[in-house]
Amino acid sequence: MLSTMQDVPLTIGRILAHGATFHGRSTVATWNGEKAVASSFAEVGARAAQLANALRDELGVTGDQRVATLMWNNTEHQEAYLAVPSMGAVLHTLNLRLPPQQLAFIINHAADHTIIANCTVLPLLAPLLPQLNPTLRHIVVVGEGDLAPLDGFSGGVHRYEELIAGRSTDFPHPAELDERTAGALCYTSGTTGDPKGVAYSHRSMYLHSMQVLSAESFGLTSADKVLPVVPMFHVNAWGIPYAAFMAGTSLLMPDRFLQPQPLAAMITAEHPTFSAAVPTIWTGLLDELDAHPGTYDTSSMSRVVIGGSACPPALMKAFEDRYGINVIHAWGMTETSPLGSVSHPPAGLGPEETWRYRLTQGRFPASVEPRLIGPDGTALPHDGESAGELEVRGPWIAAAYFGGDGRPAEQGEKFSEDGWLRTGDVGTISSDGFLTLTDRAKDVIKSGGEWISSVELENQLMAHPDVLEAAVVAVPDEKWGERPLATVVLRPGTGTGLAELRAFLAERVAHWQLPERWSIVESVPKTSVGKFDKKVIRKSYAEGELDVTTLRKGE
């Protein structure tokens, strides 16, 4: 028996039309260093149509060509987000923090036809041009500035505003657009090997947007104003740009002003209610707020989602206790679009148990099915105790990586034989569906037949008031195989010593987990998306570049 329901495609074009029409008064505002300059959703929709017409009529984007963006979070980026997929092309967000060789690899692998770039990042793009394939035909520059760095480019160079000026505001919708076709393309950050492409379908992004809006996830409505600090090149800014247009949620775009002081200033001036970023951003913001009491007004900010890596509990408590901001833990990755789980504790619990739930990575929604696989390949129970590698599947979970020929690549070892995504994360799942990650599989410390969680040691160290950042990695040990090395960034002006830090940690973890090797560093190296880059720490240790102090029991 077939249903009697209409079969209406779930596409980004539907989100664009809905937001521009029914939420036309909501706004997208971009911070320019002094104030926010706003455009209504209706205006953004009209300009998205002009961009689509220009891409089709002037630049020859008539099918599923890849249109890349090398941009900060701003209004023009939002316009491209909406225009490119809705016209049947594929939006390819380029991570401007990647090493140049990886950026060139990605552009060539995706066979980008056009790149839309902010003028401020042309010094990054220009040196890559000799390495790029001839498939790249056009560069469109957003903002005023000198175009001389692009003089060697053999294709067309266009200024964004001149390109779209006078174009029709009637959107050139494709005649037929299958919801299963690709609408956006993101690449992993390439922490191991070359970056890998994940092609999101219109269907997956539409469903993911609905999940972002749900109460068990971000719970965004037209009454909210979101400050997406997470870059729009980092897994589609966690789905916020599409979800916001779907719900009429106003957006406050930070552009390139991502330092603690301008972030605090824009929160004070524009009163966002919600934000999202990786932990390192919020560590810096907390220091700015604490260093200038009474200077900033963060009272509008009711909740913040932190993902990308585990959030230190001390950071969550500090924001709640000192500024009344509810920090919400979330988990995801490029291959999961990225929303995999969000931590909203069950109702009716006491403070201590509620806090225990908040420290987890959250509960899986109905559309994300998880399982834990043990070292022997068997499925483990969801009892909150059995630890294994997390695997997931669902309608916005990748089934393969993008191939350079435009088709899905072979699944490879990242995907199980029966089609599940192997996340590489190790953890437990409770009987009521809450995920607690203990480590990445590659970062777990295997010491004398036991596992030590580097994340747990980091969280406990960062609970010390004088510790700004802490990263723990496994290093070789003749007796135990591996032992933890703790690298610590101390707050300026503090006199805390390593022996004191070790004693502090000894009160919070089992004695056999305590690191013997310690190093004070000026900063912890970060990946292109703001995570601790532990492979750099391991390499620095192996090459003798770290100043390491050995501390043992009684020292």
pLDDT category, 446, cuts 50, 70, 90?
Answer: confident
Q: Please report whether residue 88 resides in a domain.
A: yes
* Given 216, 355, 451, 496, the catalytic residue: 451
Find the distance separating the first CA and the last CA of the chain, reported in whole Å.
75
> 146, 176, 201: which is the final residue of a domain?
201
pLDDT at residue 553, rounded to an integer: 67
Is the per-residue pLDDT at 289 higher than 70?
Answer: yes
The β-bridge relationship of strands 182-187 and 90-93 is parallel
Task: Confirm if 238 and 13 have CB atoms less than 8 A apart.
Answer: no
**183 backbone dihedrals φ, ψ, rounded to 5°:** -115, -25
pLDDT tens figures, 325-363:
999 999 999 999 999 999 999 999 999 999 999 999 999
pLDDT at residue 448, rounded to an integer: 78
Q: Please report whether residue 471 resides in a domain.
A: yes
What's the whole-number average pLDDT of the chain? 93
DSSP element (H, E) containing 505: helix 498-506
Domain count, the chain: 2
pLDDT at residue 480, rounded to an integer: 86
Length of the chain: 555
* Given 21, 192, 353, 446, the catalytic residue: 446
pLDDT tens figures, 80-103:
999 999 999 999 999 998 889 999
Amino acid at 42: A
Q: Please report whether residue 417 resides in a domain.
A: no
Active site residue 451: yes
Q: CA 440, CA 131: separation in Å to the nearest integer?
A: 34
Task: Confirm if 354 and 345 have CB atoms less than 8 A apart.
Answer: yes
Active site residue 298: no
Q: Please report whether residue 339 resides in a domain.
A: no
Q: CA 144, CA 148: separation in Å to the nearest integer?
A: 12
Per-residue tokens: 205: 């992004």
Instruction: Please list the helix, strand and coil fractions of the chain in percent, rounded to the nearest 5, in that order.
Output: 30, 25, 45
pLDDT category, 439, cuts 50, 70, 90?
Answer: confident
Q: In what order do the strands lie in the sheet with 467-477?
A: 467-477, 481-490, 517-520, 549-550
Is the per-residue pLDDT at 431 higher than 70?
Answer: yes
Highest mean pLDDT among 120-124, 439-443, 492-496: 120-124
Q: CA 454, CA 473: separation in Å to the nearest integer?
A: 6
Domain CATH for 456:
3.30.300.30
Task: Confirm if 494 and 504 have CB atoms less than 8 A apart.
Answer: no
pLDDT category, 456, cuts 50, 70, 90?
Answer: confident
Q: Please report whether residue 167 resides in a domain.
A: yes
- The gap from C-alpha 151 to its chain's centroid, in whole angstroms, comes to 33
* Given 27, 93, 188, 436, the catalytic residue: 188
Active site residue 179: no
* Given 179, 335, 391, 516, the catalytic residue: 335
Domain with 474 in it: 443-550
Q: Please report whether residue 491 resides in a domain.
A: yes
Domain CATH for 20:
3.40.50.12780
- Alpha helices by DSSP H, 219-259: 235-238, 240-247
Give the relative orientation of helices 279-291 and 260-270 as an angle to the nearest 10 degrees.
Answer: 80
Q: CA 322, CA 345: separation in Å to the nearest integer?
A: 21
pLDDT at residue 228, rounded to an integer: 98
The set of long-range contacts for 316-319, using a CB threshold of 8 Å and a minimum separation of 24, is 316/358, 316/359, 318/286, 319/282, 319/286
Q: Please report whether residue 410 resides in a domain.
A: no
Q: Please report whether residue 475 resides in a domain.
A: yes
**478 backbone dihedrals φ, ψ, rounded to 5°:** -60, -40
Q: CA 347, CA 477: separation in Å to the nearest integer?
A: 46
Task: Confirm if 249 and 243 have CB atoms less than 8 A apart.
Answer: yes
State the residue for tokens 């009711």.
Answer: 302
pLDDT at residue 51, rounded to an integer: 98
Q: Which whole number is the average pLDDT over 469-487?
A: 91
Contacts (Cβ under 8 Å, ≥6 apart) of 465: 491
CA-based nearest residue to 522, from 504, 546, 550, 542: 546
Is the per-residue pLDDT at 555 higher than 60?
Answer: no
> 138, 167, 201: which is the final residue of a domain?
201
> 142, 175, 201: which is the final residue of a domain?
201
Q: CA 354, CA 333: separation in Å to the nearest integer?
A: 25
Active site residue 396: no
Residue with the bigger pLDDT between 191 and 293: it is: 293
- Alpha helices by DSSP H, 311-394: 313-323, 351-358
